[in-house]
């Protein structure tokens, strides 16, 4: 065990420090139509991308996404960006994600992270959790939790990176 731990530490020190080019990990998520797609294929080139982790059972997440729904048309007018909501619902509530989303008239892209693989790959501790990637796909900002008004902070960041 000790040997392994020191090996890992050495490995991170050697290779980790010099490189900070953030790219989305090659993790597959499921579309609402059941199609599997790699995260790297979801991001459209030349646009900043917001990834918002949520779940149908997470009240603050739903509040945040409902709030954004109401102001989304204005956001889209003012900035060129991509908004992706990733549900971490497991097989208990996953089948209800598409009806839940359409029944609330959310217009963003929604994908299912069926066994939280993407959540782990992006080091999300709890939902809601929001990440912002710049035009080149580099992680530039993240925020955990939701309080009323956080959506304005997010939009300031989107504006800043969509210029």
Partner 1 sequence: MFFSRKSSSIPNRFIGSDNSSFMNRILIIVLILIIPAGLFAQITQGRLSGNFQLDAQSYRADSTIGAVAVPENFLTNSYANFRYDAGDFSAGVRYEGYLNTLQGIDPGNDGVGFPHIFAQYRHDDLDITVGSFYEQFGSGILLRTWEDKNLGIDNSLKGFRVKYTPIDGIQLTGLIGQQRIFFDMGPGLVRALDGNIVINDVVPLLRDKATRVSLGGSFVSNYQPDDDPIYILPENVGGWASRLHISRGGFSMESEYAHKINDPSADNGFIYKPGHALLINTSYAGDGLGIALSAKRVDNMSFRSCRNQNLSKLMINYLPPISKNHTYSLMNFYPYASQSRGEMGLQGEISYRLKRGTALGGKYGTQLSFNFSLVNDIDHQMVNDSTPIWTSGTDGYTSEFFRFSDQPFYRDYNFEVERKLTKNWKFSAIVQHLQYNQMILEGKGGMVNAEIAVLDITWKIKPKHALRLETQGLWTKEDKGNWAMVLAEYSVSPHWFFSVLDHYNYGNPDDTKRQHYLIGSFGFVKDANRIQLSYGKQKEGILCVGGVCRNVPAMNGFTISISSSF
Residue ranges that bind partner 1, judged by CB under 8 A: 1, 3-5, 7-8, 11-12, 15-23, 25-26, 32-36, 56-59, 63, 66, 70, 90-93, 95-96, 98-105, 114-117, 120-126, 129, 141-145, 147-150, 152-153
The least distance separating partner 1 from the CB of residue 6, rounded to whole angstroms, comes to 11
The least distance separating partner 1 from the CB of residue 116, rounded to whole angstroms, comes to 7
Q: Which residues contact 69 (CB under 8 A, 6 or more apart)?
A: 104, 105, 106, 107
List the end-to-end C-alpha distance of the chain, in Å, as a whole number: 49
Q: Which two tokens stand for residue 83?
A: 């908004």
> Considering beta carbons, is residue 33 or 45 the nearer one to partner 1?
33
The least distance separating partner 1 from the CB of residue 131, rounded to whole angstroms, comes to 8
> Considering beta carbons, is residue 23 or 80 the nearer one to partner 1?
23
Residue recorded with tokens 């956080």: 150
Angle between helices 150-162 and 59-78 (to 10 degrees): 40
> Considering beta carbons, is residue 1 or 46 the nearer one to partner 1?
1
DSSP state of 119: H
């Amino acid at each position: 065990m000790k040997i392994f731990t020191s090996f890992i530490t050495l490995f991170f020190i050697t290779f980790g420090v010099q490189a900070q080019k953030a790219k989305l990990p090659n993790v597959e998520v499921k579309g609402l139509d059941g199609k599997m797609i790699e995260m790297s294929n979801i991001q459209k080139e030349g646009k900043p991308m917001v990834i918002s982790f949520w779940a149908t059972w997470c009240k603050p997440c739903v509040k945040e996404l409902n709030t954004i729904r109401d102001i989304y048309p204005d956001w889209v007018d003012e900035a060129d960006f991509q908004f992706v909501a990733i549900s971490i619902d497991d097989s208990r509530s996953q089948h209800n994600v598409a009806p839940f989303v359409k029944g609330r008239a959310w217009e963003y892209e929604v994908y299912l992270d069926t066994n939280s693989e993407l959540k782990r790959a992006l080091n999300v501790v709890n939902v809601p959790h929001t990440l912002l990637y710049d035009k080149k796909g580099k992680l530039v900002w993240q925020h955990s939790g939701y309080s009323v008004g956080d959506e304005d902070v997010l939009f300031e960041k989107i504006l800043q990176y969509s210029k």
